[in-house]
Amino acid sequence: MRFSLRSLTVAVSLSAALLASSTLSAESAPKVIASIVPVHALVAGVMDGVAEPELLLSGQTSEHQVSYSPQQIKALGEADLVFIIGHGLELKLDELSGSEAVKGRTFFELADVEGLSKLPIRQGGAFEKHVHHEGEDHDHDEAGKKDAGHEDHDHEETGQAEEGHDEHDHGTAAFDPHVWLDPANAQVMVAAISAQLSKVDPANAERYAVNAAALAMDLGGLTKELAKELEPVKTAPFVVYHDAYQYFETRFGLAAAGSISDFSGNEPSAQRLKEVRDKLKAVKAVCVFREPQFSDKAAMTVIEGTSARDGVLDPIGSGLPPGKDAYGLLLRGLAKNLKSCLAG
């Protein structure tokens, strides 16, 4: 009995020590915040087994138009690292970055990562037909748009001059900022996320690197899976609500014909609605896709009196449970909804 009691005491002591070690590890892990669901998913995948990043914005609200509470701003100022897409996507976060409101903290903008495939902002509601090559990389930085850093962005192309800013002008974009919707871009971002986490938390650098390598392989498999899934509907024309899907369309060679709203999700003008409606009729678009973050009134106006079906696409994951699996769920959801509507 004495031996059993002693063994039990030792076991309890070891358990307490392990628990204390685990608690210490969790307490010493960096406090990390990610702006939107897909970014949070990639960060969570890299941090798996170390800590869970905090999600700032659920998918229920448009990333372009959200405002943040005092509590959220306070959390941003206390974080060790904040990952955002940037370049005018999360407009309020762009404005907060480096300000006194967040104690001068500058957020890490994933759209600045070197090696991303970037696409120009499309003008107008009707898209010109472009022959896509599956898996083609469109690096428009060679045309005067740098991958890394915040310099030499040609804001005049979008009608927005820099007005003396040393860095890129917050709230503007020299390219389409929806870069995460290309899984090849997600692979590049994962490597950058791992590198940044390793800088603030070198004790877990090896774990971040291992997680990032595994995640990159999974993303490569996801690309092949979605290409096969979407192959039967590649030539079916469709219209989207806001111009957020260019990277997904390009990666998988899809036939988008136009967007009701621009890349920022602004309320469409009557002229734009007519332009899109005329395009829809001209190409006999099969589907018009609404979004859960926006009113469906404009989409229903465009569809009215045509044979087009209506569907739903969501670029940021409304309703998805946050976590490391959300990125795959997001892109699979896009592919499923596209195929379901376009194939009838």
Read off the pLDDT of residues 188-232 as tens digits, 9 standing for 90 and up.
Answer: 999 999 999 999 999 999 999 999 999 999 999 999 999 999 999
Burial (CB count <10 Å: 0-12, 13-18, 19+), residue 59? buried
* Averaged pLDDT, 259-270: 90
* 113 has a pLDDT exceeding 50: yes
Enter the tokens of residue 210. Answer: 């291992």
Q: How far is CA 127 from CA 130, 131, 136, 243, 283, in A?
A: 9, 12, 19, 10, 11
Q: What is the pLDDT of residue 62?
A: 56
Q: How far apart are CA 213 and CA 196, in angstroms?
A: 15
Residue 32 CA from chain centroid, whole number: 17
- Tens digits of per-residue pLDDT, 12-67? 444 444 444 443 345 588 999 999 999 999 999 999 999 999 999 875 565 555 67
* 158 has a pLDDT exceeding 70: no
Q: What is the pLDDT of residue 173?
A: 57
pTM (2 d.p.) = 0.81
pLDDT band at 69 (very low <50, low <70, confident <90, very high): confident
Q: How far is CA 26 from CA 20, 210, 233, in A?
A: 10, 19, 47
The Cβ-side half-sphere exposure at 199, using a 13 Å CA radius, reads 9
Q: How far is CA 296 from CA 167, 181, 261, 312, 331, in A?
A: 37, 22, 12, 10, 22
- Tens digits of per-residue pLDDT, 315-333? 999 889 999 999 999 999 9
